[in-house]
Amino acid sequence: MLPLSAYRDAIHLDEPLPDTDNDPRSFDELINVALNGLEGRPLDEPRPERSVFTMSGLFNTLRVELMKRTPSELPEEVSNAIRSLLVRHSAHLGRTTGANLMRINEMWPQSDYGSARNVAVWRGDVRELVVDAVVNAALPDLQGCRNSLHPCIDNYIQGQAGPWLRNDCAIIHELQGSDEEIGGAKLTRGYCLPAKYVLHTVSPRIQNGVITDADREALASCYTSCLDLALEKGDIHTVSFCALSTGENGFPFEEASSIALTTVNRWLVKHGTGVIRLIVFNIFEDEDAERYSNLLANWIED
Where along the chain do its domains lie?
17-93, 97-297
Beta bridge partners of 201: 137, 185
Burial class (CB in 10 A: 0-12, 13-18, 19+), 19: exposed
**Mode of pairing for the β-strands spanning 96-97 and 129-130:** parallel
116-146: string of b/e by CB count within 10 Å (b at 16+)? bebbbbbeeebbbbbbbbbbbbbbeebbbbe
- pLDDT computed for residue 96 by the predictor: 96
Q: What is the pLDDT of residue 209?
A: 82
Top-confidence residue, 147 or 27 = 27
Report phi then psi at 97, rounded to 5.
-85, 120
Residues 243 and 116: their CA atoms lie apart, in Å, by 18
CATH of domain 97-297: 3.40.220.10
Where is average pLDDT lowest: 71-80, 188-197, 205-214, 238-247? 205-214
The rounded distance, in Å, linking the Cα atoms of 233 and 14 is 9
Predicted local distance difference test score (pLDDT) of residue 21: 66
| Residue 255 CA from chain centroid, whole number | 22
Is the pLDDT reported for residue 55 higher than 90? no
Per-residue confidence (pLDDT) for residue 51, from 0 to 100: 63
Alpha helix stretches (DSSP H) within 94-162: 104-107, 153-161
- Predicted confidence (pLDDT) at residue 252 exceeds the cutoff of 80: yes
- Look up the pTM and report it: 0.95
Q: How far apart are the first and last CA of the chain?
A: 33
* pLDDT tens figures, 138-167: 999 998 887 777 778 999 999 999 999 999
209 vs 188: which has the higher pLDDT: 188
- Res. 260 pLDDT band, cuts 50 70 90: very high
Mean pLDDT of the chain: 92
pLDDT at residue number 258: 94
Are 232 and 276 in contact by the 8 Å Cβ rule? The answer is no
Per-residue pLDDT band at 52 (split at 50, 70, 90): low
Please, which pLDDT band fits residue 60 given cuts at 50, 70 and 90? Answer: confident
- What confidence tens digit (pLDDT) does each residue in 105-145 have? 999 998 999 999 999 999 999 999 999 999 999 999 998 88
Q: What is the mean predicted confidence (pLDDT) over 167-182?
A: 97
Alpha-carbon distance 213 to 56, whole Å?
44
